[in-house]
Amino acid sequence: MPVVHNPIQPPEGRIEVKNTTCYMCACRCGIRVTLRDGEVRYIQGNPDHPLNKGVICAKGASGIMKQYSPARLTKPLRRKQEALRGDAQFEEIEWDEAFGIMEERLKHLRETDPKKFALFTGRDQMQALTGLFAKQYGTPNYAAHGGFCSVNMATGMIYTIGGSFWEFGGPDLERAKLFIMIGTAEDHHSNPMKMALSQFKRNGGRFISINPVRTGYSAIADEWVPIKPGTDGALMLSIIHELIRTGLFDREFLTQYTNAAELVSTDEQSDDFGLFIRTDIPLDPHCFDPQDRVWWDRDEDKAVHSRTEGVEPRLLGEFTLADGRKAKPSFQLLKERTDQYNPEWAESVTGIPADTIRRLAYEMGITARDEKIELPIAWTDAWGKDHETITGNPVAFHSMRGTAAHSNGFQTIRAMSILMTILGTIDRPGGFRHKAPFPRPIPPCAKTPNSIHGVKPNTPLGGMPLGWPADPNDLFVDDDGNPIRIDKGFSWEFPLSAHGLMHNVITNAWRGDPYTIDTLLIFMANMAWNSSMNTDEVRKMLNDKDDNGEYKIPYIIVADAFQSEMTAYADLILPDTTYLERHDVMSMLDRPISEYDGPVDSVRIPVVPPKGDCKPFQEVLIEMGSRLKLPAFVDKEGKRKFRDYPDFVVNYETEPGSGIGFLAGWRGKGGEKFMKGEPNPNQWKMYEENNCVYQYHLPKSYQYMRNWNRGYLNWAQEHRLMRFAEPINIHIYSEVLMKFRLAAQGKTEGKQPPAHLRKRIETHFDPLPFYSEPLESQLTDKHKYPLNAITQRPMAMYHSWDSQNAWLRQIHTYNYMYVHPSTAQKAGIEDGGWMWAESMHGKVRCLCRYTEALEPGTIWTWNAIGKSKGAWRLDDDANESQKGFLLNHLISEELPAHEAGEHVSNSDPLTGQAGWYDVRVRIYKAEEGEENVSYPQFNAMPALPGTEKTNKWQAFFAGLFTRGGK
């Protein structure tokens, strides 16, 4: 039978193939883009890229529909004078005018009070530049989205082991035998996690998922352990209890590489109560964590220098020092702490049967002990001792926002880090592995200014806008102990808020607490929708005026590539490009894409020209930096230093002549150096020729035990990853936290918390992990609101921005509330029927879907599928606004008034991590006759000027995109 239609013949057209880096989520896979007649024909994973090795996800493969979305902004827009914020009435202006407006405003603020300008960005990974801009401008009011994402994961682990998950490190699934995934949804991490999981399973590894919900990754787990949200800490502590009880811990690892054996003063009368006993060895002034601790020698029964060669210390017991002071090893304190957390207790908290908890502990302990890995790799430790092999205990963990986004998350993650540590799995094969530039000192060296003197007109900030406090004196508070940042970061309310608290910026600025600001620049963050807690109120705040008829937040600039809900509230909109139209760097100064075996950074290089007048946000910052004459952007004469962003990336150095810039690869005049070297004018070209990625493989002997690996530490110091080449010992007992507690107890000389926060600090800055109910739960009537409500992101949708994607929105065009049948039936709610979910803050009407893959005391939904009517250039009757909903309406950004204050953020009291998953709700059936649309509904957002009209149908064919009329 002759074939008329040739199924093989490729359509005609001019084909080009270019490499760049994906940005359909934050995973940053290498992509290869094929163009036909200049239109994007195919986006595939780059097989030569170390991160994704050729694979791509649903979002990455739908990049075409982002590129050609009708919601694209193409012109700078100014709010029409007569129009109110939120009405989304704009007029097109030219860039020159937009820059002029911003220059005038920001110049004035910088000359008078730079903190009146706030810059907050939804996505990080551009923080190297945005942070630099804020610092150079001199405003402390800068952060990315980390505070409402997963800062507990970063801080909880970094303050314990000097590294964390995702960009910072991860599970070594290539060699692990047992993998515990807890509180991980389907995103962080995306493709590398999927690849590793599948390989791990095929290698015969055992995968246990602990999660209230069984979807995504958990679906393929060998065992699913449903847990009540917010109780992960109780589980961890109980497993630690069981491991200590049975002796299933790695004693050698604990003694040498952690502070487990180091003696802590337990004499309440003594000045050093709660601090480590110190010896009188001379201190190196550059040392961040001096090795001046004390062990108790079990043979000689006396105190000795910690890590004295040949000495076996006691891990347990109480000892009396020569001067009569009592002291206990950290591990004894941990044991005493966890004694109360037996599995029966944990069962009552977590809902996991005690026998299961015990079995989990045994599986971990026995696998760690009996499946031990010995790699024939010789290495030298930080104390100069040579080792013939690298040892690994193949139990790996991964965790993300499920454990982090609770107000008890920091201590939960401390507990998890300690669990990983006592199993002896840190930076070892089959366990947890760091990614450069991690590990960092505990805590890392970056610090904010510690007084109001760090903020001065016309002067760069006297420190970093974000940092890692090591003791109360590092806090960024004024002389009265009040916050200096608009989000109250690094104040006594949230001392360790390393990523800021973006979720409180609008509320604080609106209330004028701690002060009012003038201009808020928001980049790529949908604060008028899914990125804010309490969305409805936040929208009102953005629109609220004072008695003089002025907006309480006087000027709002929004930089976004799309018509998001947030753009409606802008006074000025700056159209950003898509990722296919811009230069970008995944910099070592920010969060690079390093692999376990060495540093990796990467770039984006435009594959198509920008649409309309859109401009990469980086170019906006370079332009504004030059116009405002910020020191880093101009030369001595005040003349513009960098032509554009690519030029900046090549030529900027952290300090003149430092040789450290945004990109680590192909530095030096001819590209012969890496990490450190003078600028290379051909650096972009070299990245382009190398799949847009620079990868360095450390020598094998530097790839493990990097906290204590002499070779690695020296290498890292030499290549300027770290100032110090000292061992980074794990903090089982956190003296850093204890110092804050001592301050709260009034036992220290330095900065003191205000009276109303003393108890809060004293309770939560516990040097040992403990379990406490999330703050919101403590303040909720749990009889009235018996259920937990949580969200997660589906794998095929990232953030809110994919609802404008014609392909992805077919997969998730609205969201259901998932409820266990028994829970739903008790409330009379039918499968597929309309229901209400109500918290003490608000309520939503939504559609119910029964599910058996859910802990029955919890309900959940996909995040950010629901949209405000008309946003993202969707039709007014689009399912996203008519059937979709946001859980955010139930979640408050502030806790009810309690002893710590009236307007305290609904966040972790240590870190300011948003407590997204702490909300308690009740559910009931929607009445007969109620409207079959989701609640709340908002006025339709009209199409912004410069966006495209949408069509009744379309058929994408690269080079010949046809669309049908409406």
Partner 1 sequence: MTQLALVIDLNVCVGCHACVTSCKEWNTSGPAGSMCDDNPYGQDPTGTFFNRVQTYEIGEFPTTETLHFPKSCLHCEDPPCVPVCPTGASYKREEDGIVLVDYDKCIGCRYCSWACPYGVREIDEHMKVMKKCTLCVDRIYDESLPANERKPACVLACPTSARLFGDVHDPESPISITIREEGGYQLMPEWGTKPSNHYLPRRKTRMHIHEDELQRADNPLKKEQRSGTSAPVDAPTLDDSTSW
Partner 2 sequence: MHPAFSVIFLTTLIGVGQGIFLALFTGQSYSAVELLPTQHSANFYGNGAIIALLFLIGGLIASFFHLGHPERAWRAASQWRTSWLSREVIALPILMGLVFIYGVMHHMGWDSILLTTDKGAKLSLTLIVATLGMLATFALFLCTGMIYACLKFLQEWYSPLTVINYTLYGTASGFLLMTAFANVSAPDLMSFYGIWSMIIIIAVFITRFASLVRNARIKYKSTMQTALGVRHTKIQQKAMGFMGGSVNTRDFFHHTSLMFMRNMKWIFMLLVGPIPFVLLWIGMESQSTSTLLTAFVVMYIGLIAERWFFFAQANHPQNLYYQTV
Range 794-823, binding partner 2 (CB under 8 A): 810-814
**Beta strands 858-862; 787-792: pairing state:** parallel
Number of chain positions touching partner 2 (CB under 8 A): 11
Q: Does 60 bind partner 1 (CB under 8 A)?
A: yes
Residue among 649 and 817 whose Cβ is closer to partner 2: 817
Told to check if 851 binds partner 2 by CB under 8 A, we report: yes
**220 lies in the site for partner 2, by CB under 8 A:** no
Nearest Cα neighbor of 570 from 68, 102, 70 is 102
What is the C-alpha to C-alpha distance for residues 396 and 556, in angstroms, rounded to an integer? 45
**In the bound complex, what is the minimum distance in angstroms from residue 333's beta carbon to partner 2?**
47
Residue 187: CB minimum distance to partner 1, A: 10
Angle at 695 between CA 692 and CA 698, to 5 degrees: 175
In the bound state with partner 2, the residue whose beta carbon lies nearer, of 810 and 932, is: 810
Quick one: which of 817, 810, 772 has its CA closest to 792?
A: 817
Closest distance of CB 822 from partner 2, Å: 14
Phi, psi of 160 (to 5 degrees): -115, -50
**How far, in Å, are 598, 648, 678 from residue 674 at the CA level?**
12, 18, 10
Place of tokens 């290089």: 605
CB of 2 to partner 2, least distance (A): 12
Nearer to partner 2, 397 or 850 (CB): 850
| 588 or 795: CB nearest partner 2 | 795
With CB under 8 A as the contact rule, which of the stretches 293-301, 386-394, 838-846, 849-857 interacts with partner 2? 849-857
Q: Does 366 bind partner 2 (CB under 8 A)?
A: no
Is the CB of residue 445 less than 8 Å from the CB of residue 723? yes
Q: At closest approach, how far in Å is the CB of 172 from partner 1?
A: 17
Among 130, 393, 703, 851, binds partner 1 (CB under 8 A): 851
Structure tokens at 636: 């001595």
The yes or no reply on residue 777 touching partner 2 (CB under 8 A) is no
Which residues fall within 8 angstroms of residue 135, CB to CB, at 6 or more apart? 142, 460, 461, 464, 465
Minimum distance from CB of 4 to partner 2 (Å)? 10
Looking at the Cβ atoms of 473 and 813, the one nearer to partner 2 is: 813
Tokens of 373: 């890995």
Backbone angles phi, psi at 849, to 5 degrees: -130, 125
Residue 852 as a binder of partner 2 (CB under 8 A): the answer is: yes
Q: Among the residues of 690-804, which ranges form H helices?
A: 710-718, 735-744, 755-764, 775-778
Interface with partner 1 includes 378 (CB under 8 A)?
A: no
Considering the rule CB under 8 A, would residue 44 count as an interface residue with partner 1? Answer: yes
Strand partners, 180: 208, 397
Nearer to partner 1, 647 or 875 (CB): 875
Shorter beta-carbon distance to partner 1: residue 577 or 851: 851
- In b/e form, how buried is each residue of 401-439, taking b as 16+ CB within 10 angstroms? bbbbbbbbbbbbbbbbbbbbbbbbbbbbbbbbbbbbbbb
The DSSP-derived string for 595-631 is BTTB-EEEEE--SSPPSTT---HHHHHHHHHHHTT-G
Task: Name the one residue in this structure whose structure tokens are 């170390």.
Answer: 50
Number of CB atoms found within 10 A of residue 473's CB: 14
- Which of 768, 878 has the CB closer to partner 2? 878
How crowded is residue 85: how many other Cβ atoms within 10 Å of its Cβ? 20
Q: Which does residue 57 touch among partner 1, partner 2, none (CB within 5 to 8 A, set by kind)?
A: partner 1
Q: Give the footprint of partner 2 on residues 13-72 (CB under 8 A).
A: none
Stretch that binds partner 1, among 44-52, 302-310, 611-619, 621-629 (CB under 8 A): 44-52
Query: Cα 542 to the chain's mean position, in Å?
Result: 25
Give all strands of the β-sheet with 223-225 in edge-to-edge order. 223-225, 206-210, 178-182, 395-399
| 600-604/693-695 β-pairing | antiparallel
> Under rule CB under 8 A, which residues in 182-221 are in contact with partner 1?
186, 190-191, 194-195, 197-198, 201-202, 204-207, 214-220
Regarding beta strands 30-36 and 39-45, do their DSSP bridges make them parallel or antiparallel, or are they unpaired?
antiparallel
Cβ-Cβ contacts under 8 Å for 598 (sequence gap 6 or more) = 436, 695, 696, 697, 698, 703
- Of 20, 21, 30, 41, which lies in the binding site for partner 1, with binding defined by CB under 8 A? 41
Distance of closest approach, residue 810 Cβ to partner 2, in angstroms: 5
If one asks whether residue 856 binds partner 1 (CB under 8 A), the answer comes out as yes
Nearest to 736, CA basis, from 493, 485, 483, 444: 444
Interior angle at CA 243, CA 241 and CA 249, nearest 5:
130
Q: Tell me the closest approach of the beta carbon of residue 934 to partner 2, in angstroms.
A: 14
Q: Are 872 and 566 in contact (CB under 8 A)?
A: no
Residues numbered 757 to 776 that lie near partner 1 (CB under 8 A) are: none
Shortest Å, Cβ 963 to partner 2: 18
Q: Does 934 bind partner 2 (CB under 8 A)?
A: no
x-marked contacts with partner 1 along 63-102 as a string, rule CB under 8 A: -x-----x--------------------------------
Alpha-carbon gap, residue 705 to 428, rounded angstroms: 6
Per the CB < 8 A criterion, the answer to whether 86 and 568 are in contact is yes
Q: Which is nearer to partner 1, 175 or 820 (CB)?
A: 820
Q: Which residues inside 286-325 make contact with partner 1, applying CB under 8 A?
A: 298, 312, 314-317
With CB under 8 A as the contact rule, the residue among 11, 457, 631, 746 that binds partner 1 is 11
What x-and-dash track marks residues 355-374 binding partner 1 by CB under 8 A? ----x--xx--xx-xx----
Compare residues 307 and 793 and give the one whose CB is closer to partner 2: 793
Q: Is 557 left (phi over 0), alpha (psi -120 to 50) or beta?
A: beta
CB of 531: closest distance to partner 1 in angstroms? 22
Residue ranges in 791-850 that form contacts with partner 1 under rule CB under 8 A: 795-796, 804, 806-811, 813, 820
849 binds, among partner 2, partner 1, none (CB under 5 to 8 A by kind): partner 2
**Shortest Å, Cβ 867 to partner 2:** 14
Q: Which of 874, 914, 941, 944 binds partner 1 (CB under 8 A)?
A: 874
Query: Which of residues 758 and 883 has its CB atom nearest to partner 2 in the complex?
Result: 883
Q: Which value, to the nearest 10 degrees, does the dihedral of the CA atoms of residues 796, 801, 803, 808 take?
A: -30
Q: Which C-beta is closer to partner 1: that of 112 or that of 825?
A: 825
Residue from 30, 226, 430, 767 touching partner 1 (CB under 8 A): that is 226
Region of 534-542, 589-597, 651-659, 867-875 interacting with partner 1 (CB under 8 A): 867-875
The pairing of beta strand 395-399 with beta strand 178-182: parallel
- Residue 808 CB, nearest approach to partner 2 (Å): 11
What is the number of residues in the chain? Answer: 966
- Write the DSSP string, 382-429: TTS-EESSEEE--EEEEE-HHHHSSTTHHHHHHHHHHHHHHTT-BTST
Residues 855-894 that bind partner 2 (CB under 8 A): 879
Among partner 2, partner 1, none, the one that 206 touches (CB under a kind-dependent 5 to 8 A) is partner 1
Least distance CB 326 / partner 1 (angstroms): 17
**Residue (696 or 807) nearer to partner 2, CB:** 807
CB of 820 to partner 2, least distance (A): 13
* Residues 937-956 contacting partner 2, CB under 8 A: none
**Per rule CB under 8 A, is residue 917 in the interface with partner 2?**
no
d(CA 119, CA 116): 10
Residues at the site binding partner 2, with contacts judged by CB under 8 A? 810-814, 849-853, 879
